[in-house]
Structure 1
Amino acid sequence: MKKIIIYGVLTIGALAFIMWKLNANKAANIEKTDFVKESNNGVIPVLVEKVAKVEFDRNFTANGNFEPIRELTFSSEVSGRITQLLVKEGSVVSKGQLLVRVDDELLNTELQQAKVNLDKITLDKQRNEKAFETGGVTQKQLDDSKTEYKLAQARLDAAQRRVNDTYVKAPISGVINAKYVELGTYLSPGNKMFDIVDVSKLKLVVSVPEAQVIHLDKGDQVKITTNVFPETSYTGVITFIASKGDNTLNYPVEMVVDNVSGKTLKAGMYGSANFEMPQMQPAIIISRNAFVGGVKSNQVFVMEKGIAKLKKVVAGNIYGDRVEIREGLNEGDTVITSGQINLVDGSKVSLQTAEAK
């Protein structure tokens, strides 16, 4: 008996829920039917916004990754075996600091031979110069001795250069980021030895839209922020602004950023450049959805006394999903932002409610 009562209560509850759902669906269908009837009667539902002049914040942020101010893959210029290796990965080096010594025994022998040869040719030239004064040698013989002297001097300079190259020195200041040689490695010209990066300063390259890049100049200071040190602001100075943009009309802008002691940034880290734009006078800014077929069409519909009227406007700068209007609209106009696909100039329109969407 108790089970029969329970099943009866559950059945009644289920029937009540079904009746409620049917009534709710019926109300929704009636509402949709009325909406369609209204559309079929020539009145097209639309969404609108009121036109007003507003102060628009043009400041913006662009993101990028830090790069070393300078980086270099340093290669060998001489042949020989490494006899001294004075740095390791992570070593901080200064420009001109000795990094590696290469065996120079044979090269020193060549240098000594070049010196001896130059001394001999120098004496021969001096004798010919004195003999020429008394007619002992011809002009050609004197010229030949001078030429031999110049060639011997050049050979000595080249031999000295090869010896000097066995003292491998840092071409820039920075950090040894990678080392490709070991003590005893035999080098040939062109062998990679080190990657050196200079992070005393960093570069940050970001892309800036055309509407903002026209306000930037080389030398401008920019506030730089990072995720790794959010409490610290860095200062960047614009050093380069591209003269040509990419296919999306963005222009690469490069800044040099000074590192901060104790909050040293590394190459590859993520950074944000916070650009402060000149204060903008109040202007008419509307949704880019209001344009018929896109912003470049410079056409929008406005609603006047239930009628859609097509208007020609002059669009200015674009700020995300908002567009500046320089001509064609006045404060107080009602611009249509949704439903234009069904409109022609002179169509009857009505405000679309949230439930009718």
Structure 2
Amino acid sequence: MKKVIITGLVIIAALAGIIYTLNGNKAKNKAETDTVAQQNAAVAVRTETVEVKELNTQYITNGIIIPKQEVMLSAETSGRITKLLVEEGTLVKVGQTLAIIDGDKQNVTLTNAQAVYNNAQSEYNRFNSAFSTGGVTQQQLEQAKLQLENAKNNLESARISFSDINIKASFTGIVNKRNIEVGSYVSPGQQLFEIVNVSSLKLKVNVDEKNISTVTTGQTVKIEVNVLPNQVFQGKVTFIAPKADSNLNFPIELEIENNSKNELKAGMYATAYIGNEEKATVLAIPRTAFVGSVSSNQVFVVQDGKAVLKTVTSGRSFGDYIEIVSGLEKGMQAITSGQINLLDGMPVEIIN
């Protein structure tokens, strides 16, 4: 009996030890889980210190170069292509013939119209002579004159149709696309050639409301192109939009003269430097620090390990940096990446 009691006590002690150990592990796991949860709650962000910078006062903006002139030449008449006189990449002059359409039908029409016109001219001359001697009436003469006018109009129409068999360039440029081959049958309206003029190009860019007053039509602007790093081009402002877009930016157009080698191509990425190259000392933050866009005037800063949303007054644009007139102080940490995951007051972890 005594042995049974001792065995029972041992079992109870063992169970108590197991329960104690399990409870200890549970508390430890909970503490670790809470710590991980707290760490995971912090949003990873990148920051940059708000500081006074010496920046170039030129307004810098980017855009894509487009052709000043481009046109898709279409067939004006139906027929089969009998001659192709240019290839893709060929430089063509205004009025140059690019292709010829089989003109047998148009030629027959023109010949018939010429014959009808000649006959109407003879009839009118005969009636006019007879009228002077009283051989025909005024009404008969007017009828002959009307027939002559109709024949003349039909002849002119036939001449235009006959001239349409020659596909000609409407301006000097380069053949960018050719959609036909010899023997192709074409119909009116079918696109045949794309001609692009690259001797002069355009650059469309946006200027914000704070800088648009410094831009004038005819103003000269320095242009740089990423793929031509050792060259500087000159652009001239040809258009300033009278109305801003939804982001309070004003679209403007610059005309750029290409160099002698026509190295500028439509589709290239270019940078425009508007204004004089001077220096200004201003409190500034990266453009990427703004929530959404610069026009939002909202910036997150890190304070006591949390993201704090600040409303600021922005000033001039200096390319990648924006002047801060009020709302931030020197030394603050402005969040430049990760804002999409933030709400005001959320804990953050700086990963710079």
Q: Please, what TM-score do these two structures have when normalized by structure 1?
A: 0.65
Paired residues of 2:198 and 2:262 also in contact (CA < 8 A)? no
The secondary structure found in structure 2 opposite 1:211 is coil
What are the within-5 Å matches in structure 2 for residues 169-208 of structure 1?
A: 169-208=168-207
Distance 1:295 1:206 in 2: 17
What are the within-5 Å matches in structure 2 for residues 74-153 of structure 1?
A: 74-153=73-152
Taking structure 1 as reference, are residues 227 and 77 closer, same or farther at Cα in structure 2, changes over 3 Å only?
same
The secondary structure found in structure 2 opposite 1:99 is strand
1:37 corresponds to which residue?
none
The secondary structure found in structure 2 opposite 1:214 is helix
Letter in 1 for 2:111: Q
Deviation at 1:247, TM superposition (A): 0.8
Unaligned runs of 5+ in 2: 1-49, 298-312, 333-352
Q: Please, what TM-score do these two structures have when normalized by structure 2?
A: 0.66
Answer yes or no: is 1:260 the counterpart of 2:259.
yes
Paired residues of 2:248 and 2:295 also in contact (CA < 8 A)? no
2:158 corresponds to which residue?
159
Letter in 2 for 1:246: D
The secondary structure found in structure 1 opposite 2:229 is coil
Deviation at 1:322, TM superposition (A): 2.5
Taking structure 1 as reference, are residues 197 and 260 closer, same or farther at Cα in structure 2, changes over 3 Å only?
same
2:275 corresponds to which residue?
276
Deviation at 1:143, TM superposition (A): 1.1
Taking structure 1 as reference, are residues 144 and 202 closer, same or farther at Cα in structure 2, changes over 3 Å only?
same
Distance 1:140 1:82 in 2: 48
Letter in 2 for 1:229: L
Distance 1:246 1:283 in 2: 30
> Could you tell which deviates more after superposition, 153-162 or 257-266?
257-266
Letter in 1 for 2:93: S
Deviation at 1:237, TM superposition (A): 0.8
Letter in 2 for 1:140: Q
What are the within-5 Å matches in structure 2 for residues 224-303 of structure 1?
A: 224-262=223-261, 264-277=263-276
Distance 2:100 2:76 in 1: 12
Distance 1:150 1:98 in 2: 32
The secondary structure found in structure 2 opposite 1:136 is coil
Distance 1:102 1:287 in 2: 63
Letter in 2 for 1:322: E
Distance 1:107 1:287 in 2: 70
Taking structure 1 as reference, are residues 87 and 335 closer, same or farther at Cα in structure 2, changes over 3 Å only?
closer
What are the within-5 Å matches in structure 2 for residues 217-228 of structure 1?
A: 217-228=216-227
Paired residues of 2:315 and 2:322 also in contact (CA < 8 A)? no
Deviation at 1:246, TM superposition (A): 0.6
Deviation at 1:180, TM superposition (A): 0.8
Letter in 2 for 1:270: Y
Distance 1:295 1:266 in 2: 32
Indicate the percent of aligned positions where both proteins have the same amino acid.
34
Distance 1:134 1:154 in 2: 30
Distance 2:190 2:101 in 1: 13
Distance 2:215 2:322 in 1: 23
> Could you tell which deviates more after superposition, 136-145 or 225-234?
136-145
2:212 corresponds to which residue?
213
Letter in 1 for 2:245: D
Unaligned runs of 5+ in 1: 1-48, 298-314, 326-333, 339-357
Distance 1:230 1:336 in 2: 35
Taking structure 1 as reference, are residues 256 and 90 closer, same or farther at Cα in structure 2, changes over 3 Å only?
same
Distance 1:91 1:142 in 2: 55
Partner deviation per Cα, 1:120-166 (whole Å, 9 max, x = no partner): 11111111112222222222211111111010001111111111111
Deviation at 1:296, TM superposition (A): 10
Distance 1:238 1:94 in 2: 27
Paired residues of 1:283 and 1:324 also in contact (CA < 8 A)? no
2:63 corresponds to which residue?
64
Taking structure 1 as reference, are residues 210 and 119 closer, same or farther at Cα in structure 2, changes over 3 Å only?
same
Paired residues of 1:318 and 1:324 also in contact (CA < 8 A)? no
Distance 2:245 2:276 in 1: 22
Taking structure 1 as reference, are residues 105 and 176 closer, same or farther at Cα in structure 2, changes over 3 Å only?
same
Partner deviation per Cα, 1:99-140 (whole Å, 9 max, x = no partner): 111111221111111111111111111111122222222222
Taking structure 1 as reference, are residues 286 and 263 closer, same or farther at Cα in structure 2, changes over 3 Å only?
closer
1:322 corresponds to which residue?
323
Deviation at 1:323, TM superposition (A): 3.9
Q: Size of the alignment, in residue pairs?
A: 262
What are the within-5 Å matches in structure 2 for residues 307-346 of structure 1?
A: 317-319=315-317, 321-324=322-325
Deviation at 1:317, TM superposition (A): 4.1
Letter in 1 for 2:225: T
Distance 2:198 2:329 in 1: 53
The secondary structure found in structure 2 opposite 1:230 is strand
Partner deviation per Cα, 1:207-238 (whole Å, 9 max, x = no partner): 11111111111111111011111111011111
